[in-house]
Structure 1
Amino acid sequence: MENNTTIKTHKYRLYPTKPQEAAMFETLRLTRTLYNAALEQRISAYKKQGKTVTGYDQQKELTALKEACPEFAGVYSHVLQEPLERLDKTYKSFFARVKRGEKAGFPRFKPAGRWNSFKFKEVWDKKKGRWLSPGRPTDDGKRINIPKIGSVKIKFHRPLEGTPKTLQIVLDVNEWYAVYTCEVAKNPLPATGSSVGVDVGTTWFAITSDGEFVENPRHLKNGLRKLRVQQRTVTRRKKGSNRRRKAVKLVAKTHQKIRRQRLDFHHKTARKMVNEHDVIAHEDLKVSNMVQSNLARSISDAGWSQFFTLLAMKAESAARRVVPVAPNYTSQRCHQCGHACRENRLSQARFKCVSCGHEANADHNAALNILDKAGARPSGVNGSGVSHAVV
């Protein structure tokens, strides 16, 4: 049965009072403490007894934990369950990577700087079709209820769509946000009859088989001089001092601006492609492996993984198809005759086939090859709106 809904997130700025903000910081501290304690329990149980502790086992101990440590009783029950579920998911991902023979990366303890959110798992009563207590907006739409914290001021800059599922409270540098995950109906766009191949790069962000060259904005590179000055200031400040904390916050704000610029660019570029094409093909790149190269900074600055994720999400909502294809020989194969060899690629931009003499821009030739691969064999569309070509 075809799924006519998709998941969409809505992010709104929160403006807590000082007591409310203190309570939110305390919730972050307690949930992080619980995560780290649960990880320590799992490690110790396996080392000392050879026993595996599950997330379900740990959740059953929450009642006893609240009795032993009354401070945890001041945290909403679902919020306490979520760190244990997060840890359980992390463990399962670890063992899945081990099974696949990949670099595993054992779960790590979380310092304060790497723990910036807590989550309410349910905000909507399905049976009665109404809000539950967490995240419920007030009648005037200017505040939301956050259990154990209070009625917090919020800016609903756009309407909340669909049926809300979860609510996550996120701290981004020094700003608080409410992130609702909602189930919304798909909004299919009219067919265009167009298919396109997309080759991503560092010189140009994207080159399409239609001959369109999308400029790479290089947000990180443009902000690098400012970042270097700020980071040098951090190193000169005494560790633990207020001046150092202020300098660290300035660095974080600069990174925040760069992230937002990149995200905005990715949203707009992905939206344009989804609006104009029924089928969008791109290389199925392992970006995490590619950032080990000498182009690591340029690749991270481009943010291909985030772009492909947004592209797939927008395509799913619009009933479009996104087709990731194997990247093998896309930059070395001649689109005209099919001959593939390293000598075809004369430089970053020039392509000349040693077999038939065909000359073209190397990236445009690669985009044409990507489009060919996407249509080389029949492929089905799964529920996420992404087709996987078997090539």
Structure 2
Amino acid sequence: MTPTFLSRRSLVGATLTAALLTGVAAPTALAAPRTSATTLPRLDTAALRAAVSDLDHPQATAAQLRVGGTAGSWYGTAGVANRGTGAPIRQDDTFRAGSITKMFVAAAVLQLSAEGRVDLDKPIQNYLPGVLPKSYAPIKASQLLDHTSGLPSEVIPPSQQKNTPEQILAHRDDHWTPKQIVATLPGNAPMKFTPGTKQEYRGMNYVLASMLLEKVTGKPYGKAIGDRILRPLGLHHTSFPGNDPKLHGPHVHGYLAMSDGTLKDATEYNQSEAWGEGEVISTTGDLERFIKALFTPGKVLPKATLNKMFEMPAPEVRMVDGTPARYSKGLQTVTINGVTLWGKTGERYGYNSAVMATRDLQRTAVYSWTPTHRDESQIQMALRMGDAITKRAGASGSAPR
């Protein structure tokens, strides 16, 4: 089947990411970054509780937030895991974590680089001959990881787009292959920009990076990540479902509001449309464990390779809209209330999440919530969460509702 429109790449995801990463979560977002233990703010538990408990701005059915690190910890939930049964959210309930998948893919590719099995400066076309149109400029493997590839936009026929919640659910059983996803790239279109000169967030970069991972390891990318990362770290609740549309075991249900306002359960959905750019299932505990290990030299990556993961593009490389670059290899960065965080946001139908941490792990944060509308209102929760996890206890003001 030819892939339908990946609407998670639409304005909602782009606007949400931009809101977090341009530091608009609080008036003090542009203050100098705090890096020492003496200046990292003490947790404002009232702000954390308020951020999680408001499920009306925007409308959502559930939320959970886990904050950790050497500067304090907190965990809270709101809403229910299942509207049908009223079951409460439990700490080990799984959820769809969307583009957080990219952190796992990048970590595995960087491991291969450290082992000398992948040359990040070598064109992806050398590893995957014939996958991209011959007219495309050479794209370094590293340029996939930091979104500086310059790939042209996918071309999706109108009949295959998902522009309404009804259309989204109508395609929940679609099966896609990676080659079908890549085939949506136009063969006769020019590159958007010369690779390495600008930055544009593109899921397609990680479809190709996952294909690279499979080519070099000889394994399905999810199994390669399982062998290299999930099992060694004990991430027992994290998985890459492929064509399995279900979340097995205790999980949080996701819902979508239809055009008439009724809510439909969107939990069961074939994730092959997202594949290596956004299919991971996880828990707040597993994601916290992952980012702690990832940011600790020697746990997942050697120190020199970990430093490469945090490297931003050259200063002259900016986003296509002219704003500063905000993606490194597998990570995105934001400074809120003077606290600089690194990590990744994620979004799937009925789910929204993020995992972030200061580089020194004095603060970690993982949130997941289940918005019912796929529109700009999702920004409100992201702003509230970002403000709450970085706000100094007793500070005045509040994030927008």
Is the shorter-chain TM-score for this pair beyond 0.5, marking a shared fold? no
TM-score, normalised with respect to structure 2: 0.25
The structure with more radius of gyration: 1
Higher helix share: 1
Q: Which has the higher contact order (CA 8 A, sep 6+)?
A: 2
